[in-house]
Amino acid sequence: MTDFSNQCFVCGKEIDPETTELNKQLNLPVCDNCKGTEREKKAIDDHLESMAEGFVCGCI
């Protein structure tokens, strides 16, 4: 499994977790190049979808 803690979740670029902001929805780091872009929004959607598939649970 990929460790997302030290790379931008949008473009996969290595980042410094100490200085990089987290996306508040996913709690994953996003670099300055991707922050606030359409690509970021799309990556969020992709992540939420894959998480939904991973946690199939009727307890919402």
The C-alpha atoms of residue 35 and residue 22 are separated, in whole angstroms, by 9
- What token pair was written down for 18? 């100490």
Phi, psi angles (nearest 5°) of residue 29: -70, 145
Contact status: 11 vs Zn ion (CB under 5 A):
yes
CB of 8: closest distance to Zn ion in angstroms? Answer: 3
* Stretch touching Zn ion by CB under 5 A, among 19-27, 29-37, 41-49, 50-58: 29-37
Contact status: 44 vs Zn ion (CB under 5 A):
no
Q: Which is nearer to Zn ion, 2 or 58 (CB)?
A: 2
3-state SS class at 51: helix
